[in-house]
Structure formats: structure tokens, C-alpha cells
Amino acid sequence: MNDPATIEHLHHRISAQLKPLYPDHDAEKLANDIIDTFWSNRDQILARNDIAAKHLWDESDVALITYGGTVRSEGEAPLKTLHRFLREHLGQTIGMVHILPFFPYSSDDGFAVIDYLAVDEDLGDWSDVEAIAADHRLMADLVINHGSSKSKWFQQFLSDQEPGKDYYVTADPTADLGRVVRPRSHPLLTHFRTAAGDRHVWSTFSADQLDFDFANPDVLLEFIKIIASYIDHGVRIFRLDAVAFLWKKIGTSSINLDETHEIIRLLRVLMDHHAETLVIITETNIPNHENLTYFGNQNEAHIIYNFSLPPLLVHALLTGNALYLKRLTRSNPPALTGCTYLNFTASHDGIGLRPTEGVLPQGEVDQMLTAMQKFGGRISMRRGPGGTEKPYEMNISYFEAMQGTLDGPDDHQIDRFMAAMAIMLALEGIPAIYIHSLLATTNGYEEVNMTGHNRSINRRQLEYSDISAKLADQNSMESKVFTRFLWLIECRKQQPAFHPNAVQFTLALPEGLFGIWRQSLDRKQSIFAVTNVSKEAKTLALADINLIAGDPWWDLISGQSIEDIEGDFPLEPYQTVWISNVNANVA
């Protein structure tokens, strides 16, 4: 039996967090309900001195992002096909897998959840999820801000029945809602006729996605039950979808509110004290200075998305100017113990523009938007203050975004794309790779035409046999990208200097070059990761990066040894070098 003092301490801590959130409720009772719900066996509760011993991540951790139904094979449940793809094509290369919402849903490709405790039967069942979780560290979405209008809870809301009748945020359309920050251009409130009369429900993302009322503690308890169930099915990393919008207050922006942060802090306490190694990642696609607040004081998210990276990488490789990318890496503070960044270039969503606010001048943004449209991309809009619409994200395959420069398409697409991936793999944090980037998938215009949604351009479904054939053909574009990608990943995984919390310093290099210095936690390995982001050949003056005399130095990617540390190193267009004093390379 767990030490009663540990449980008492945990109960006291949770109740203290609940009191300011729910001043009109019995915080002591609610804390006890949470403990009973989250830990079916109280022996799973860790004492404070056990928490620090948990292994969270190291340089070998690389994540794959995919829908459960992206890879398909006739007559086979898609989750089984995904597992087969992981086994047959990736082996041990990828240790973490993020399966995007795999629950029954009504819209938004899974993000309007009908039943949080079921697997979409079109994808498979819980045994398929558990099989993947047995081989990989599994990340799943906790779609915590909103649920489907087709859910049992919302049907109860419409019928004015318990418990759902009090689970959603409603508001008077005449209320002061002008300050609310919007990620979409549709109306904030959606009208419904209910058994209790006409109601206007908060719908941040769509009329089919109705926002939960976390001011009701029963809603919090429902989601803690959901988290506990996911743990039982093998989920170890919880992506809190759209969490910045969680708590609403009339007359405020209703984003990033203190109460939202307090909910995350509460969940962090639960995760940290669980016997399993559980991790929270917050999905907050907002300006970078706001995004960083979700680390809290090492007591909120374990991991935050590096949302500014995808658009700034596009800009750097489109223009050959790494100035704004350098500013990002210089401004992001080193993550403290127990925290790190999730670095990515593409995901199921578009390339967000809000993270460029205050970072990239509008003229640079406009040039980038024009280029992406020339490369076949689409632009999605959101409603700003006063009802004006402004660009929200670029919808395009990341591979297609690398077609060319401001001068137009050229012959450097694969090299430019791999340059972006090499930069992402080298940065402080954990790299996450969208399956369509791994497979160099092109823009899905047919999917956009079918759904009418711009985001479908980067959500194509692929036949497993077609993928396998293309990867087996060494001359195919897909095989060339896949092979180079996997080699880079395997190389990265062997370098202690690429630990997610290893030191990072941005190098002062000439125009057209982007570089960082990484140093392992034990200070034995240094890596100077330098990329030519331009379409012109460049020369790296090794004296500029201050290689230590007396140490042997190699480029880990090419295998080339460096004899003269004061000499010049030529770089082809979009070439990356990882110059290290330890040759821990792929066999």
C-alpha cells in the first residue's frame, strides 16, 4: 500500500489548486474524487522523491505524426496497416508515434469527437491501438476544448438532461464578446433550440464543435476519467488540443486565461505522480511569447510545440535569408529540467502564421504567401478584431513548399527540403515528423475538392502497396527523400549533443548560412550544425565557429574529416554539415 503521507500530500496539493477554480464547490471532496478516478490502484501514486527518477526523453527520441487512416490496405483495418508500415519500413528508427484522433467523430477529420472512449470502427479497435503502444511510445489527442454536436453529452444538452445539460459554454449574443480571440472566421456563438429554450453555444472552431464549460467541475472529472482510460490502453503522451481556449470569461480575450493554466498545472501534478511515465504537450498555435508561457514554472506542459519554426524555416529557404530563423533560435530560452520543445516542420494542420506575429515583417509574410500560392498552396483566413479577416495559415504540403525560391521553382527541391529537415533534427528539443513529409507527398487537390477544406491538401490517404512500391524504387522521389531522411534520423539518434536538453547556441554566421552549436550534457561532444539556406554555393570559414585545437573533427553527414580547423569548408546549395569532435556515426 502506498505511504498514506504521500496520498495526504497529493490530496492537499490538488485541493489547493481546485479552490480558486471552484470556490463554490467542496474542493476536498473533488480532490478525493479525482484521486479515486485517476488512480484505480493507489499503489501507482509516486512520492515526490520518485518523480525525478523518471526518464522522459533522450537523443534517440523521434516522433512520427500520422492519422490512423493515412496508410490503407484493402481488407485490413487501417490501424493494423499503420502498424505494418511502422514495422516493415521504419523498424526501430521511430520510437514515438502520434496517432491523430482515432475516435468516432462528425467533422474536422477527427477533432469533433462523438465518443472519447471508443475507437472509430472504420480504423480498428482498442486492441490495434494497444498493439502500436506496445512497440512505440504512443501520443494521443485529448480534444479537451470542444466536442461534437452529435455526442451523447450534447444530445443531453439539447434535451436538458443530466449530465450534459451543464457541460457547454453558453452566452447571450448581446454580451461583450468583442475581445475574444478567434482562430476562425465563422460566428463565435451557434444557436440551438433546446428543451430549455433557445441557447447560444460557444463554438470556437465550428458549429459542430461545441466548447465545454470547465467552470463546471463535473466536466473536469469527465476528462480525468478519459485520461485514465487512455493510460489503460497504452497512451503515454497527451496532446492537449486547442487548450489555450479552454476557459471562457465574458469581457476578456478568452485565450490563455489564468484558469486555463491552472487546469494544466493540475493535470501536470497528476501525470508527474503516476507510476507510468506520462507527458503533457500543449497545442497552442499562438504568438511565440504566449506559447512559451505554457512551460509555466516547470509545472505545466512537459513539451510545447515550436510553432514558429515551420513558417520561419519556409521563409529562410524561400529567401536565402536566415535572419528571422536566427532570431527565433536566439529568443527561445533553454528549456528547464523536465521540459523541452517539439520541433516540427509540418503537421495535419497548415503552416501557421500567428506564430510569425511580431517576428516576421508583414512585407516578408506577403512575399511568402504569394510564393506558396504559386507553388499550389491555399491560404486560410481568420476573423480579427473588428470583424476583419486576415491570413491564418498556409495550406500546402511541406515538400511542395520547397519547390523553389522567390524567383520560382528550380531543380533544388529535394535538397532544399532535406535542408529544412536537417535543421529541424538538429535543434534543441524532440523532432516530430509528419508522415507526409517522410514520404514526400505532394499537394492533394482532389482531397480539397472533395471536402471543400484547405487543410485537406496535406491529409491525403495513401495505398500501402503504392507506398511500398515507390519506396522500393531507388529512382523515385519518395525513395530518395525517405532514404535520406531515415539516414539523418539514425545519425541524429547516436549523438549525445542532440539530447533534447543539450546546450544550444546560435552561431553568428554570414548571410545565407544558419548554424547552431550543440553540446552534450556531459560536455564531451560538440556539434556545429550549419546549413546553407541559399541556392548559391557558400564557404564556411571554420575559424568563425571556433573548433577546439587538438580535437579531431568530422562532418557526421558526409564522413569527411577536417584537417585544417582554420581553413574553409565549401557548402553546396542547401548542404548541411554536422561538424563534431566525436564520430558517433551510423555503422
- Residue from 241, 272, 349, 555 carrying the catalytic annotation: 241
Integer Cα distance of 155 and 73 in angstroms: 35
> Does residue 333 have a cis bond before it (omega within 30 degrees)?
no
Distances from the Cα of 580 to the Cαs of 488, 518, 545, in angstroms? 15, 9, 12
Integer Cα distance of 29 and 32 in angstroms: 5
Q: Which residues pair with 314 in a beta bridge?
A: none
Would you state the torsion angle of the CA atoms of residues 184, 188, 192, 194, taken in this order, to the nearest 10 degrees? 130
Integer Cα distance of 259 and 530 in angstroms: 42
DSSP string, 199-255: EEEE-SSBTTEEEB-TTSHHHHHHHHHHHHHHHHTTEEEEEETTGGG-S--TTS--S
Phi, psi (degrees; rounded to nearest 5) at 124: 150, -145
Amino acid at 475: N
Of 289, 328, 548, nearest to 423 (Cα)?
328
Sheet harboring 513-519: ordered strands across? 503-506, 513-519, 526-532, 576-580, 553-555, 561-562
Burial (CB count <10 Å: 0-12, 13-18, 19+), residue 413:
buried
- The yes-or-no answer on residue 213 being catalytic is no
Integer Cα distance of 369 and 311 in angstroms: 10
Phi, psi (degrees; rounded to nearest 5) at 420: -60, -45
Integer Cα distance of 549 and 528 in angstroms: 15
**Residues noted as catalytic:** 241
